[in-house]
Amino acid sequence: MLKKILSLITAALLCSLAHAQTPKFRVLALYTTTVESDHVDFANDAIKYFTTLAAKKGFVLDTTTNWKNVNDEYLKKYQLIIWLNDFPQNELQRAAFVKYMDNGGAWLGFHVAGYNDKYTKWPWFVDFLGSAVFYNNSWPPLPAKLIVDDPKHPIAKGIPVHFVSPINEWYGWLPSPRLNKDVKVLLTLDPANYPLGKKDILRGGDIPVVWTNTKYKMLYINMGHGDMIFTSDIQNKLFENAVMWLGEKK
C-alpha cells in the first residue's frame, strides 16, 4: 500500500514538473500605474488573481507597465495579450497590435481597455470591438445583476445564468455591439438593475457587458473598476474560463 501511495505521489510530482516545464500558453498582461486609482487597484488585484491561476492551470503570465513592449518582436512569444486598464499610446503600438491580432493572436480587454469615443480616433479598434462606442456610465460604482446569454459557451462553464457581479462602474454603448452581425454577446446587464446609479444613471436599454467579435480571438469584459472585482467566486470562474478559452483557442 505504502509503495502504491509513494508511486502515486511520484507520478503527481512528475506531472506537476512537466506542467512547469511546458506551459500551455504564454500571456502578457499590460497595465498602467498612473491612471485613475480605481483602475490601478483593479490591475493590481487582477495580477494577483491571474498569477495564482497561471500556477494552477499551467500557463505563463508576464506583466509589464511598458507599452513600448507592444511591438512585433516582443509580442511574438505570447498567445494572449491582456489590457488591464489602458490601451496602446501611439500609432506604432496600435499598428503592432493590429498585426498581432491579424496573425492569430488573442486579446482580453477589461473595462477602460475598451473605452473609445470621438477623440480616440482609432476606427480599426471600434470595428474590432464590434462597433461599440462608449456612451455613458453608472456612478457611483455598484453591484449589478447579470444574465448569461449563452450558457453553453466555454466561458460560461460553471456559471449560473443569473448572478450578482460585485461593485463596478458599468458602461453603456451606442450602438450596442449586439447589432453587429459578427458579435456574440455572452453576458448582459439584467434590465432589473435599472435605474442603475445615483449621480450617473443607466436608465434602460440593451447593455452587453461581455462579448466577442467572432472575426478575432478576442473577448471584452466590462468589469474592472475598483478593489471588489475579485470578491465573487462565480465571477472569478468566468475570468478563469475567459483566459483558458482564449489561451487555448486554435
For the segment 166-225, give every residue that binds Zn ion (CB under 5 A).
Answer: 169, 225
C-alpha cell at 46: 487582477
**For Zn ion, which is the closer residue by CB, 101 or 112?**
112
**For Zn ion, which is the closer residue by CB, 86 or 149?**
86
C-alpha cell at 124: 480599426
Minimum distance from residue 115 beta carbon to Zn ion (Å): 9
Minimum distance from residue 46 beta carbon to Zn ion (Å): 13
Q: Which spans in the chain are helix H?
A: 2-21, 37-57, 72-75, 91-102, 123-128, 233-248
One character per residue 228-247, x = contact with Zn ion (rule: CB under 5 A): --------------------
- List phi, psi (to 5°) of 235: -65, -40
**For Zn ion, which is the closer residue by CB, 86 or 169?**
169
**For Zn ion, which is the closer residue by CB, 79 or 222?**
222
Q: Could you please report the per-residue DSSP string of 142-211?
A: EEEEEEES-TTSGGGTT--SEEEEEEE--EEESS-GGGSTTEEEEEEE-GGG-SB-SSB-B-SS--EEEE
Minimum distance from residue 232 beta carbon to Zn ion (Å): 18
How many residues bind Zn ion (CB under 5 A)? The answer is 2
Minimum distance from residue 244 beta carbon to Zn ion (Å): 26
C-alpha cell at 138: 453608472
What residue ranges bind Zn ion (CB under 5 A)?
169, 225
